[in-house]
Amino acid sequence: MTTTLSEPVLRLIDGRNYGVLATVNPDGSPQTSVIWVGRDDDGVLFTTVTGRVKHVNMTRDPRVSITVIDSADPESYAELRGRVVSVTPDAGRQVDTRLSWKYDGRDPEPDRPGAVRVVVRIAVEKVTGRAR
């Protein structure tokens, strides 16, 4: 069951605030990656390249957590726990380009030859933290 995100949490996601994605390794240990985050409606999304550890982990176990930390006030943060609900091709790198402009103010660097970039959508099931 998904949860509705509050206005302070939406502001964190919409701002230029980095997220830390946690996935589960095959041995049960955590794996984390700093990511750019975005959203569409109440779905949280990011992009990655197939074959990376986070992608492999999410394919095997869809449970994830993303902590988004306010870059101007690190004590304001939200942890979004949920599940991967879709992994789809990033057609024309539209989502990656949108996130690159949000975070870097320019088009993204090219992916390595043969890389397949995908958009990962998360259904948020629980929110914790101190988003202000």
Residue 51 CA to residue 48 CA, distance in Å, equals 9
Token pair 């946690």 in the structure block, residue? 22
The predicted structure's pLDDT at residue 40: 87
Q: What is the pTM of this model?
A: 0.95
Which of 35, 31, 14, 15 lies closest to 23, judged by CA? 31
Is 122 strand, coil or helix?
Answer: strand
pLDDT at 87 over 80: yes
pLDDT band at 108 (very low <50, low <70, confident <90, very high): very high
pLDDT band at 9 (very low <50, low <70, confident <90, very high): very high
The predicted structure's pLDDT at residue 42: 60
To the nearest whole number, what is the mean pLDDT of the chain?
Answer: 96
Alpha carbons within 13 A on the beta-carbon side of 33: 17
Domains of the chain: 7-109+116-129 (2.30.110.10)
The predicted structure's pLDDT at residue 54: 98
pLDDT at 2 over 90: no
**Phi (first) and psi of residue 92, to 5 degrees:** 65, 15
When pLDDT is averaged across residues 79-95 and rounded to a whole number, the result is: 96
29-61 pLDDT per residue, tens: 999 999 999 998 768 999 999 999 999 999 999
Residue 54 CA to residue 107 CA, distance in Å, equals 23
